[in-house]
Amino acid sequence: MFSLDIVCKSLFITARSSNAVVHVLRQIEAGIYESARLWGDGARSLTAAFRIQQNRMSNVFDILDAYRKTIRGIQYEFMKSHDRSISLQQKQNKALSSAFYFLSNNTAQLLEMESLYNGIETLMTGRISHYILPHDYLQKAMMNVQNYLHANQ
């Protein structure tokens, strides 16, 4: 405060003016503190979002690992059926039918995982994803917005 008094006297600034300068500097300090706090909150939120994304991707990798093991089992079944010459044709047909059964049942699940991944990517860019919410929910939300706009205009 002493150095501020010297500067004020050398610049012919009155005590009232110097109080105004001090007030402005305190407001700036408070603004900097608030922006630093908000920045920290944003960083924590972003870190939490990345953790959620990492957990979801871990779940996707677990599912893919289960698929890999199932495919490995099918491969083992193919090899086992090849090694045995007894009813070779029947075992190959069984292995083929189980492979087709696996593929047909899991195609929809793979498409849902892809939709989930696309939805998460869309959410990470800050947009609401139509991959995560069902179509009728989005349609109801749009009707509510439209009704609100009609009521308030």
CA distance 63 to 68: 9
What per-residue confidence (pLDDT) applies to 6? 60
What per-residue confidence (pLDDT) applies to 133? 66
What per-residue confidence (pLDDT) applies to 65? 87
Q: Which of 101, 104, 120, 108 is nearest to 59 (CA)?
A: 120
What per-residue confidence (pLDDT) applies to 145? 82
pLDDT block averages, 10 residues each, the chain of length 153 = 57 65 84 84 81 85 86 83 68 83 82 78 73 71 84 83
Structure tokens at 3: 């150095």
CA distance 74 to 151: 61
Q: How many helices (H) and strands (E) does the chain have?
A: 4, 0
Which CA distances in Å does 26 have to 7, 9, 14, 22, 63? Answer: 18, 21, 18, 6, 56
What per-residue confidence (pLDDT) applies to 82? 67
